[in-house]
Amino acid sequence: MQRWYQEGQDLVQKGHFFEAAQRLHQALSVEWNPNAADSLITAELELGHADEAIRILDEVFARYGPTPQWLVALGDANLLKGNRKQAKLSWERAARIRIDEQAHERLAEYYNENGDKKQSTHHRALALHAEGREAFRKNQLDIAFTAFRKAVELAPQQAHSWYYLGECLRFLKKPDSAQKSYRRCLQIDSNHGRALRSLGRLASSQ
């Protein structure tokens, strides 16, 4: 099973999706593994096999429950079938679990194609927030700063993005700019505890 799984993973990375699907189906026929299932879903979607991807996702949900990543994949499969509204529902469900970059990117594109610029911008800003938060978690401060700066440009009322922008600036040794970001966050949400604490931390260090 492990050999088939590893071969399938390698084939997916090389773009050999038909051969990858064969190996991964073999692996799952012996033992269910969520990582193998995830790679198989990717392969089936790349092959345009929406129904097979949905079948696998149904089993994944039954075994492990939904995650944003798998709900985004379900939306992608429905989009392949031409079920745009069903795809949107899956992406929205993913976004309700957490602010997920891929879910919000899909929703931004959906609303853009439907001519709803306001909703498209809203979801684009949330996708940037998710991108920034992931980069911040990895200590990629320059990438995070750029993402949060773009997010607040698109959505000036997005308090959490102002907070994280302040955090980036604080760690980048720009305390004056960090304070401005924290204060902007608090203008939007006066009860934002983390912004209050970070502002106090900066004040005490000066």
Residue ranges per structural domain of the chain: 1-65, 68-153, 156-206
Whole-structure pTM value: 0.91
Instruction: Tell me the pLDDT tens digit for each residue of 178-198.
Output: 999 999 999 999 999 999 999
Pick the CATH number of 156-206 from 3.40.50.150, 1.10.150.20, 1.25.40.10, 1.20.120.10: 1.25.40.10
Name the residue with higher pLDDT: 5 or 16: 16
Q: CA 148 to CA 135: how far, in whole Å?
A: 10
Percent of the chain scoring above 90 in pLDDT: 80
Chain position carrying tokens 């700066």: 149
Residue 147 binned pLDDT confidence (cut-offs 50, 70, 90)? very high
Average of per-residue pLDDT across 138-159: 97
Contact residues for 131 (Cβ-Cβ < 8 A; gap 6+): 101, 143, 147
What's the confidence (pLDDT) of residue 1?
59
DSSP state of 49: -
Q: CA 138 to CA 150: how far, in whole Å?
A: 19
* In contact, 185 and 169? CB cutoff 8 Å: no
Percent of the chain scoring above 70 in pLDDT: 98
Pick the CATH number of 1-65 from 1.10.10, 2.50.20, 2.60.40, 1.25.40: 1.25.40
Q: CA 174 to CA 146: how far, in whole Å?
A: 15
Instruction: Tell me the pLDDT tens digit for each residue of 50-94.
Output: 999 999 999 999 999 999 999 999 999 999 999 999 999 999 999
Question: 68-153 sits in which CATH class?
Answer: mainly alpha
